[in-house]
Chain A
């Protein structure tokens, strides 16, 4: 069975590692990017588009909201499920991200269980993976 792929986009290596641990546990193959620009460059070079992207908001070069906007404007990337993972927790920011095309929103700090629950809501977690 082909493994699903997840792109983890955060300028913090530590946060990327935490997210990678979670998605790897869910049997995703993980790819990392340090900002939105690097993520778009990687996506351009990848023959197959990842099913999932976990995206920080505040990053240098290209922030998460700009990345979401770019992805939604690109027909090749249309099927990607986009989850913002960020400290930007005001209602207005959540609305902005969802309006731009993000599917879900996870506020830092998050527990592993909370993240897996969010991904389960999106149908991206095998049954029983969080037990």
Chain B
């Protein structure tokens, strides 16, 4: 079964806001400021795959300093204290949280994978036969962060190029 995804940029932005409020910026002093630039650079990224009623990927990408800052916020430590293992853990959890909430907005029957983390730019990612359908692109304390959804082409004929 294939469905047309109904999750849009505003839905993603709302989820991102909740993540910032809960973990990355509980004081509300440093929100993600949207740039709407889908080509902004990244240095690390994480993703979860969704299969079933919709098939694709949810990707969290950022600069290394933004990833260090996120890990520091989760772990209550300074960004300079964050290890590579901490980075992987927090990036994976961010993809998991956002991906899980995306899945909840899809028709029943979708399954969520465990997260994958790549400490390399998003541009190095390979999502075979998938295309980006929406995303939130922004700057957090001067550093790029993005959350995007990639739909497998076989999942939606309209999405195929």
Contacts and interface: CB of A to CB of B under 8 A. Distances in A.
Interface of A: 11-15, 17-18, 21, 58, 60, 86-90, 92, 107-112
Given A108-B100, A109-B19, A111-B21, A90 B92 contact: no
Nearest to A86: B100
A108 B21 contact: no
Contacts of A110: 22
Contacts of A58: 96, 100, 112, 114
A15 B93 contact: yes
Main SS at interface, chain B: helix
B23 A109 contact: yes
Contacts of A18: 23, 74
Q: How large is the interface on B (under 10, 10 to 19, 20 to 34, 35 or more residues)?
A: 20 to 34
A14 B26 CA distance: 16
Interface in B60-96: 71, 74-76, 85-86, 89-90, 92-93, 96
Contacts of B101: 87, 89, 107-109
Interface of A is mostly: loop
B128 interface: no
Contacts of B19: 109
7 tightest Cβ-Cβ pairs between the two chains A and B: A87-B100, A109-B22, A14-B74, A89-B104, A12-B93, A14-B90, A108-B97
Contacts of B92: 12
B83 to A, nearest CB: 10
Contacts of A87: 96-97, 99-101, 103-104, 112
Contacts of A60: 114
A130 to B, nearest CB: 14
B78 to A, nearest CB: 14
Most chain A CB neighbours (cut-off 10 Å) among B21, B104, B114: B104
Contacts of B104: 87-90
Contacts of B23: 18, 109
Nearest to B99: A87
Contacts of A88: 100, 103-104, 112
B93 A14 contact: yes
A26 B114 CA distance: 30
A19 B21 CA distance: 16
13 contacts: A12-B90, A12-B92, A14-B86, A14-B89, A18-B74, A87-B101, A88-B103, A90-B108, A108-B96, A108-B101, A109-B21, A111-B21, A112-B26
